[in-house]
Structures are given as structure tokens and as C-alpha cells.
């Protein structure tokens, strides 16, 4: 079995501040963890220029009909799947628009299948099964920055002309070298050595949140700071949809609900009220001409 020199992996180094954590009181343990967690946002801030670049790349891909595909193993893979799964209900997009791939498949979401992360071939196989193409952007997530599964995915994507990015929390990583647009948020040693579900995982989730939220805003899925394409899949979300219409247009709750029932869409209801255009087909035409952006659509009819 080939051994890995983990001494050179940032996330595997020991945290001097927590070496005696096993003999501390509960409050002292919790306080130490909290103190380390405070460092995560600053690590993400230092990577902001890299994040901005990747957001612009994702936005361009979305505007051209491509997909954002996350790929990773273990905790990193689970976080990619999590972010992808949250986009359809939040922004009303197709489940195919943001995709999460984890080494070992869906079974690995609940059970450890860590051995698969050592296979570059499995990554290529998984990407081919998802029909990866040059229209897409692939983001490899790897805290250690050396996961063969993720590196193999990035290498294959590069070879067929796909935009590639990565999220890593290790310095001078192989993953960062393999990605055209690396994001490196160096969170430092974990409270429990090598437990990258902690600070590294928090940073990865924060970055994924920024990437998808920012790109969805840029393609018109948000008006002001409201989710105008939210899926109304339960009572709470129907109430939220009604409130969004009220907040944006100033109509009563009753009027908002009337429009919501008529169009079955927060965005269409808002546009109908603000534009005084009632015909569904006309609303659809105007919005589609402006990539679903309400502000741009309203400007066109003034």
C-alpha cells in the first residue's frame, strides 16, 4: 500500500492550542472550538479575489445554459451535494443546473466509502455518466488538496475544455495546481487533528454559499434581497411567496395571493403588478428576452 506523507498537508498539522483539549472542562472545550471557528471567515475573506473570479465564471456558464458541477469525496463531497440540493427550492432552478457528485455515489452521503477517493478513474467514470461538457464548470472540493478522485476529475475536465475551479483549505495543493481557477481558504490546523469536517468544512460551505448565491443573484433570481423564484412546496413557502409580493409591490396580502394563484409564480405575479401587463404569454416573452431579470424587463417597457 502506498503511504501518503501527511506531514506536508496543512489540514493534517497539529494545533498547538488544543493539544490538551482532552483534559479540559466542557466550557473550555466549547470555547476553544468557538475561538478556532472565528478564524474561518477571515480565511475566506483572504480568498475573496479568487472567489469573485469563480462567481463570474459560474455566471457566464449559467447564462450560456451550462451547469455548475461540484465533485469531492467524504465531507467535501457531501458539502457539494448539499449546496447543489439547496438551489432548486431556493431559486426555482432545475436540479440539473447545479449538480453535486460524491465519490462512492449517494450511499457515501450517509456511510463512509473513503477508499473510492483514491481512484482517478472513478472520477472520470462519474463525470462521463453526468455527460460533462465544455459548456459546464467543474469545481473540485478537497480540504487536503491532494485527493486523487478530485485531481482526476479536474484533469479530465481540463482535457475536454471544461472550466475548472477548486475549493481547498491547504497551502500549495495539487488540487489548486490542477484547477484553472483555484480558491484557497487556508483555515489552519483543526481542533482535532485532521478532522476536516470542522474548520475546513465550514469554510467550504461558506464559499459554496457565496458562489451559488452570488451567481443566482447575477442571473436575476433575486430582486432586491428577496427570492423571487422560490418554489412554493409547503405552507411556509407559500406564505413567504405572498410576503415577497407584498414587500416588493406594496399591494395587500389578499391582492398578492390573487396574483400568486393566477400565475403560480412569484416572479410573474410581481412583474404583472409592476408592469400592469396581465397576459401570461406577454409576461413570459418579456422575461425570457431579459434572462428572467425583472429590473431589465421593466426597463424595456418604459
CATH numbers and ranges of domains, the chain: 7-218 (3.40.50.10490), 222-301 (1.10.8.1080)
Is 117 catalytic? The answer is yes
Residue 122: predicted pLDDT: 94
Task: Please check whether residue 267 is in contact with residue 259, taking contact to mean a CB–CB distance below 8 angstroms.
Answer: no
Q: Which of 28, 45, 60, 86 is catalytic?
A: 86
| Cβ-proximal residues to 98 (8 Å cutoff; 6+ apart), any chain | 67, 68, 69, 70, 83, 84, 87, 212
CA nearest neighbour of 259 among 240, 272, 250? 272
Residue 1: predicted pLDDT: 47
Task: Please check whether residue 229 is in contact with residue 221, taking contact to mean a CB–CB distance below 8 angstroms.
Answer: yes
Which cell numbers hold the place of 34?
468557538
Look at the block and give the residue holding cell 478530485: 150
Q: What are phi and psi of 184, to 5 degrees?
A: -120, 105
Mean of the per-residue pLDDT values of the chain: 93
Q: 2: which DSSP letter?
A: -
CA dist 268 → 76, 184, 221, 262, 271 (Å): 37, 40, 12, 9, 5
Report how far residue 176's alpha carbon sits from residue 302's, in angstroms, rounded to the nearest whole number. Answer: 47
Is 254 catalytic? The answer is no
Strand blocks (E) in 58-154: 68-72, 98-102, 137-141
DSSP-based three-state secondary structure for 70:
strand
| Cβ-proximal residues to 183 (8 Å cutoff; 6+ apart), any chain | 47, 50, 51, 54, 165, 166, 167, 168, 207
Residue 10: predicted pLDDT: 79
Burial class (CB in 10 A: 0-12, 13-18, 19+), 235: exposed
Which cell numbers hold the place of 105?
455515489
Report how far residue 295's alpha carbon sits from residue 302's, in angstroms, rounded to the nearest whole number. Answer: 11
Which cell numbers hold the place of 146?
491532494
Given a cut of 70, the residues of the chain with pLDDT beneath it are 1-8, 114, 302
Report how far residue 73's alpha carbon sits from residue 141's, in angstroms, rounded to the nearest whole number. Answer: 8
Q: Which of 12, 117, 122, 184 is catalytic?
A: 117
Task: Please check whether residue 167 is in contact with residue 141, taking contact to mean a CB–CB distance below 8 angstroms.
Answer: yes
Burial class (CB in 10 A: 0-12, 13-18, 19+), 15: middle
| Cβ-proximal residues to 189 (8 Å cutoff; 6+ apart), any chain | 10, 11, 13, 14, 15, 16
Percent composition of the chain: helix, strand, coil (DSSP 3-state, to 5)? 60, 10, 30
CA nearest neighbour of 77 among 5, 156, 3, 141? 141
Amino acid at each position: 500500500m502506498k503511504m501518503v506523507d501527511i506531514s506536508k498537508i496543512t489540514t493534517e498539522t497539529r494545533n498547538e492550542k488544543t493539544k490538551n483539549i482532552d483534559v479540559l472542562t466542557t466550557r473550555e472545550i466549547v470555547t476553544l472550538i468557538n475561538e478556532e471557528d472565528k478564524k474561518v471567515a477571515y480565511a475566506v475573506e483572504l480568498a475573496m479575489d479568487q472567489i469573485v473570479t469563480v462567481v463570474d465564471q459560474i455566471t457566464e456558464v449559467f447564462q450560456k445554459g451550462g451547469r455548475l458541477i461540484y465533485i469531492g469525496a467524504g465531507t467535501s463531497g457531501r458539502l457539494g451535494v448539499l449546496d447543489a440540493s439547496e438551489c432548486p427550492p431556493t431559486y426555482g432552478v432545475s436540479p440539473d443546473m447545479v449538480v453535486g457528485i460524491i465519490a462512492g455515489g449517494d450511499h457515501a452521503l450517509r456511510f463512509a466509502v473513503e477508499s473510492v477517493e483514491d481512484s482517478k478513474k472513478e472520477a472520470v467514470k462519474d463525470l462521463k455518466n453526468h455527460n460533462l461538457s465544455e459548456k459546464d464548470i467543474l469545481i473540485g472540493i478537497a480540504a487536503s488538496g491532494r485527493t486523487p478522485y478530485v485531481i482526476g476529475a479536474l484533469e479530465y475536465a481540463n482535457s475536454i475544455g471544461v472550466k475548472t475551479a477548486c475549493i481547498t483549505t491547504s497551502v500549495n495543493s495539487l488540487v489548486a495546481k490542477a484547477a484553472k481557477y483555484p480558491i484557497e481558504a487556508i483555515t489552519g490546523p483543526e481542533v482535532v487533528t485532521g478532522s476536516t469536517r470542522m474548520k475546513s468544512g465550514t469554510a467550504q460551505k461558506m464559499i459554496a454559499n457565496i458562489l451559488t448565491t452570488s451567481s443566482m443573484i447575477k442571473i436575476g433570481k433575486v430582486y432586491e434581497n428577496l427570492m423571487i423564484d422560490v418554489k412554493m412546496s409547503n405552507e411556509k413557502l407559500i406564505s413567504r411567496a405572498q410576503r415577497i409580493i407584498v414587500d416588493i409591490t406594496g399591494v395587500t396580502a389578499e391582492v398578492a395571493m390573487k396574483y400568486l394563484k393566477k400565475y403560480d409564480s412569484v416572479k410573474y405575479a410581481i412583474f404583472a403588478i409592476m408592469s400592469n401587463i396581465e397576459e401570461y404569454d406577454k409576461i413570459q416573452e418579456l422575461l425570457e428576452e431579459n434572462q428572467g431579470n425583472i429590473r431589465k424587463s421593466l426597463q424595456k417597457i418604459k
